[in-house]
Amino acid sequence: MAKKAKFQAPTGMHDILPPDQKYFRKVFDVVQEVATFYGFRRIETPILEETELFSRGIGLSTDIVQKEIFSFRTRGGDYLSLRPEGTAPTARAFIEKGMQNLPQPVKLWHFGPFFRYEKPQLGRFRQFWQFGLEALGEKNSVIDAQVIQISYNILRELKLKNLLIEINSIGDSQCRPYYKKLLMNYLRSRESALCRDCRRRLRINPLRILDCKQEKCQRIISQAPQTIDHLCDECRQHFKEVLEFLDEVELPYLLNPHLVRGLDYYTRTVFEIVEDSPEGRALGTLVGGGRYDNLVKLLGGKDTPAMGGAGGIERIISAMKKKQVRFLVPKRSKIFLAQIGKLAKRKGLKLFEEFRKAKIPIGESFGRDSLKAQLARADKLGANHALILGQKEALEGSIIIRDMKTGKQKTVKLEKVVTEIRKQLKKK
């Protein structure tokens, strides 16, 4: 009689049992609530995609494409892969479904399983879950800060503490070639001391070496030229503005001059959020991302600047075990914040957070400068009141409250606007 087989889950793939389901549900609810508040809408893409989508989008030299992707040929001859990440599929859907013709930016979020063939270890699985935020069609630096801020807020809403944002700029096609040449010259003289993978990366894409976690490579990387010292004027100004926005909303960040992230589509801003403790750093990055201004065009679409971030659900759950959190159902926004000018954007970003903490839904259009366009957006959203913050108001510490139905308006102090709006909402 044949011995009965003892089946087990495939290596690196795990069951989500009832005790853990509540954590997955809580993370999902928080992501949905926070993302919806900021105007992001959910998208779901297929688990299978054409392999070329990832080899072209992520980059042939990346570890994901070289060593980690699950690929196979179908009976019909199609070459498909289990999706290893969510940004390239979102960009493909953006192009295929004509989302370039929608009002920009198009803000999307996703939540689901992904697949990479790597060595199973703490916080790493071959089937793993992520949430992602994607803002396509906005080049303004404010969207970089907002994606980072949303990612940070999600972790804070899940009661995680001691969070630190590591951030860098890796430049763009104007300044990166010169930096890569400098890096190549530095690394060639130390090639024999690099690990085998990094010696291969040196020939294909030296930037990938900066992402190596091996100790002997880390020692070499620590003395390497820094991207931030070789940015063009436009990239330097963009990064300066991102940091100013983060300062304005008082987020804790650390400039990491060797942070590059592991995907070729990144440009300019890159970031990672970690729990700043020995245990937290051992667990790894909780949320990471950056700009990918060239990806949509690379995949056959129009030139479309974009910014995104993704968080590892299993890692987040490991960090929040034994916590209990309750969540509110998102409500429709009846207030709209309009701002004109950079100072007003900075003040507006902070004011937006005060409304979030007060649980008062509020709409915004930070990427636009035209007051007419913003008020038209407020009217389309059905807002009862528009808060208008211009350069004069930002300097004086005041803001205009306009009744969208009657057109009547009054000016109040910035620190009193949340209280005033709460009174107005009670009258409705």
CA-based Rg of the chain, rounded to a whole angstrom?
A: 23
CA 106 to each of CA 102, 115, 131, 149: distance values in angstroms, whole numbers, following the listed order:
7, 26, 17, 18
pLDDT of residue 327: 46
Does residue 324 carry a pLDDT above 60?
no
For 124-180, write each residue's pLDDT tens digit. 788 899 999 999 999 999 999 999 999 999 999 999 988 999 999 999 988 888 888
Does residue 329 carry a pLDDT above 90?
no
Q: Residue 382 falls within a domain, yes or no?
A: yes
The pairing of beta strand 398-403 with beta strand 409-413: antiparallel
Domain of residue 403, residue span: 335-427
DSSP 329: P
Alpha helices in 255-312 (DSSP H): 278-283, 295-298
For residue 173, what are the contacts with CB-CB under 8 A and spacing of at least 6?
267, 294
Q: Sheet with 79-82: list strands edge to edge.
A: 48-50, 79-82, 71-73
Pair (347, 392) in one structural domain: yes
What's the CATH number where 38 sits?
A: 3.30.930.10
Pair (287, 351) in one structural domain: no
- Of 94-98, 198-202, 226-230, the poorest mean pLDDT is in 198-202
pLDDT of residue 85: 92
Per the CB < 8 A criterion, the answer to whether 311 and 287 are in contact is: yes
d(CA 173, CA 175): 6
Q: Residue 3 falls within a domain, yes or no?
A: no
Q: Residue 142 falls within a domain, yes or no?
A: yes
Pair (304, 370) in one structural domain: no
Beta carbons within 10 angstroms of residue 427's beta carbon = 5
Pair (117, 147) in one structural domain: yes
Count up the domains in the chain and report the number: 2
Q: Residue 182 falls within a domain, yes or no?
A: no
Q: Residue 277 falls within a domain, yes or no?
A: yes
From 289, 320, 351, give the residue that closes a domain: 320
Pair (302, 341) in one structural domain: no
Which tokens sit at 122? Answer: 């703490």
For 41-71, write each residue's pLDDT tens digit. 999 999 999 999 988 887 765 666 667 888 8
Q: Residue 4 falls within a domain, yes or no?
A: no
